[in-house]
Amino acid sequence: MIKIQKEDFNSEVEINKIKKLHSNVGAVSSFIGYVRDENNNKAVRSINLEVYQEMAHKQFEKIINEANLKWKLEDSLIIHRYGKLEVNSKIVLVACFSKHRKESFESCNFIMDYLKKDAPFWKNEFYGDKNEWLSNSN
């Protein structure tokens, strides 16, 4: 499942919605990313994430398909927020559902690495009275 949204999300609720569909799932690995209060030795006030939603959705589908070819996943979930996000706000949730932990761990890391480096999101970080557009990184 892929969700690209401005609204906050409840990680446990979102994961449980999918888990209830798969009684054969023995492992769920997840990653939750938050807005930090410091980056590059600067005090962060907030960030603004911009996204090209149609492209992001297609790319998220592609990376999920790649993960499904490498590991035996029963399901997967990506929720990525956009818009203005304050410090301590959730940005992203990736969850991978499989029969065994190795597949869920490795696929979750694989998907998150992709999102961090190649997802079509643009981050404008705000510090005091200045701001800076950041490039994707590892």
Q: Which domain holds residue 66?
A: 2-125
pTM of the model: 0.93
CB neighbourhood size of 28 (10 A): 20
pLDDT tens profile 77-111:
999 999 999 999 999 999 999 999 999 999 999 99
pLDDT tens profile 37-66:
999 899 999 999 999 999 999 999 999 999
How far apart CA 103 and CA 59 sit, in angstroms, is: 21
In CATH, what number is assigned to the domain containing residue 42? Answer: 3.90.1170.40
Give domain status of residue 104, yes or no: yes
Give domain status of residue 134, yes or no: no
> Do residues 92 and 101 make contact, with C-beta atoms less than 8 angstroms apart?
no
Question: What is the number of structural domains in the chain?
Answer: 1
